[in-house]
C-alpha cells in the first residue's frame, strides 16, 4: 500500500500568507495525487527561531476556523488589498475539509511515533508480524485514539439485556 507524505517546514506557520499558500498546495496535492495523504509539519523543534505564532499550534495542525487567519493577514497593508482573494482561498480549503497536519519534532520519539502511526493508518497497515494483535489495538489504530473495547462491550451488553428484559415483560403482559 502506498501513502503520500507531504513535508512542510513549520516556519510557514509564522507567516499567514505563506500558511495559506501551504494549505492550497497541500489540498491541491491531495486532490491530484489520489493516494492516502499525510501532511507533516516538520522541524517543530526549530519553530520558535522563526518568530512567534499568531495562534496556538493546534490551530495550525487541525486547520481550525481560517477566518481568524484572514483577519490577521488583513492587518498587513500589503495583503489588505487581497482580502477577498484570501477569503475565497480559505473558503475552498474549508469546504473540502481535508487538510490537517501532524507535527514532527525529530528530537522527540513520541512525535516520530505519531507520524508513523498516521502514515500506517493512511496506507491501511494495521499490524506487522511483531505487533500485538487484539481487537482493542485494531480499534485504537482505526479510531486514532485509545479504544477500550471491554468497557464499551460491557455497556453494550447491559443495554441489550435491558432491551431483552423489556421485550420479555411485554410478552408476559400479553
Residue identified by cell 499558500 is 21
Domain map (residue ranges) of the chain: 4-173
Tens of pLDDT along 110-162?
A: 989 999 888 888 888 765 555 555 556 666 655 554 444 444 444 445 445 65
pLDDT at residue number 145: 47
pLDDT at residue number 166: 67
Residue 38 parent element (H or E): strand 37-42
Residues 104-113 as b or e (16 or more Cβ within 10 Å = b): bbeeeeebee
pTM over 0.75: no
Whether residue 44 has pLDDT greater than 50: yes
pLDDT at residue number 149: 45
Tens of pLDDT along 49-107?
A: 887 777 878 878 888 788 887 887 777 777 777 888 888 888 888 888 888 889 998 88
Pairing of strands 4-9, 102-103: unpaired
Residue 4 parent element (H or E): strand 4-9
Distance CA 96, CA 76 (A): 27
5: confidence class by pLDDT, cuts 50, 70, 90: very high
Residue identified by cell 507531504 is 6
pLDDT at residue number 131: 56
Amino acid at each position: 500500500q502506498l501513502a503520500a507524505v507531504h513535508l512542510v517546514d513549520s516556519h510557514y506557520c509564522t507567516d499567514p500568507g505563506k500558511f495559506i499558500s501551504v494549505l492550497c498546495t497541500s489540498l491541491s496535492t491531495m486532490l491530484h495525487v489520489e493516494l492516502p495523504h499525510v501532511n507533516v509539519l516538520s522541524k517543530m523543534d526549530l519553530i520558535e527561531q522563526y518568530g512567534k505564532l499568531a495562534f496556538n499550534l493546534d490551530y495550525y495542525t487541525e486547520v481550525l476556523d481560517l477566518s481568524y487567519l484572514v483577519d490577521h493577514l488583513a492587518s498587513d497593508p500589503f495583503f489588505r488589498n487581497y482580502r477577498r482573494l484570501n477569503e475565497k482561498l480559505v473558503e475552498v480549503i474549508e469546504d473540502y475539509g481535508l487538510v490537517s497536519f501532524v507535527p514532527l519534532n525529530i528530537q522527540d520519539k513520541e512525535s516520530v511515533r505519531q507520524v508513523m502511526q498516521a502514515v500506517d493508518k493512511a496506507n491501511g497497515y494495521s499490524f506487522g508480524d511483531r505487533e500485538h494483535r487484539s481487537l482493542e489495538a485494531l480499534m485504537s489504530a482505526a479510531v486514532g485514539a485509545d479504544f477500550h473495547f471491554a468497557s464499551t462491550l460491557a455497556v453494550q451488553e447491559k443495554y441489550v439485556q435491558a432491551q431483552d428484559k423489556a421485550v420479555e415483560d411485554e410478552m408476559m403482559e400479553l
